[in-house]
Amino acid sequence: MKICDELSCTGCLACADTCKMQAISVKKNRQGFSYPVINDSVCVRCGKCVSVCPVNVQKKNKAAAVPFACWDKDDKERKSATSGGFFTCLAKKFVEDGGVAYGAAYDSSMKVVHKRITSLNEVTQMRGSKYVQSDTSQIYKKVKADLSIGKKVLFSGTPCQVAALKNYLGKDYENLLLVDIMCHGVPSPLIYDDYRKWLENKQKSKIRKLDFRYKKPGWTVFSMKADFENGKSYVSSKYEDPYHCFFSLGGRSDVKAVLL
């Protein structure tokens, strides 16, 4: 049984969460992206993994979209965020009201994973764009559990992750707010791991903090900033930093030639 074509797979992992038989394990493909693998001896061919996949099924919004533009009026908060800092405002409101927020954060080894938070002091973990595919293992189950006990839930992710969650839930919830970030694609965790190793070898120290969108040099001319355990920092503009060059040029047809 095949869920979707490997090249189209977004690595959302809703298929693994939906499988009652736990027949799906998550592997890394050759490029380092998450990819589901079915254990045929356990699979009962119910087809749920195929129908939850946002590559196969895309739900249309019932109402026409109404656009708003917002930014955080608190200068300090906005400057720490990637863009206008609206996510932080929303997440604060949800947790202040006793709800929960889901979004992308670093784990203790600097990998990017989707997390569930319930308190104000955790909100900053999710702030800031992390330009890499986040690990969403088990996250859809947690969202559903929160919704079913009536918690107010804010879920933020890439449009693919949000579409996956909609399919996974299968119905609308009044206590759920979905926020998809503007996204032109996520780089591979393998390249992200190699990049961190490269930085750590250069500085001979472990990274303690990473900011993909350091705005001090300017909002549009942003930079990559890494802070190391030895107290040193690395700052390089999006035009010079190798990771940013690949990420920004990712949509161009000539980039494949550079990667090969």
Residues that bind ligand FAD (CB under 6 A): 81-88, 103-104, 112, 126-132, 134, 156-158, 181-184, 186
Phi, psi of 17 (to 5 degrees): -65, -30
**Nearer to ligand FAD among residue 45 and residue 79 (C-beta):** 79
**Nearer to ligand FAD among residue 236 and residue 248 (C-beta):** 248
| Cβ at position 101, least distance to ligand FAD in Å | 8
**Nearer to ligand FAD among residue 34 and residue 38 (C-beta):** 34
CB-closest chain residue to ligand FAD: 103
| Cβ at position 212, least distance to ligand FAD in Å | 8
Q: Is 155 exposed, middle or buried (0-12, 13-18, 19+ CB in 10 A)?
A: buried
If one counts every other C-beta atom within 10 angstroms of the C-beta of residue 212, the result is: 20
**Nearer to ligand FAD among residue 23 and residue 81 (C-beta):** 81
Pairing mode, strands 34-38 and 100-106: unpaired
CB–CB of 56/12 below 8 Å? no
**Nearer to ligand FAD among residue 82 and residue 188 (C-beta):** 82
**Nearer to ligand FAD among residue 54 and residue 85 (C-beta):** 85
| Cβ at position 105, least distance to ligand FAD in Å | 7
CB–CB of 159/106 below 8 Å? no
C-alpha neighbours within 13 Å on the C-beta side of residue 123: 21
| Cβ at position 260, least distance to ligand FAD in Å | 23
| Cβ at position 249, least distance to ligand FAD in Å | 13
Strands (DSSP E) contained in the chain are 24-28, 34-38, 100-106, 112-117, 153-157, 176-180, 207-214, 223-228, 233-237
| Cβ at position 167, least distance to ligand FAD in Å | 17
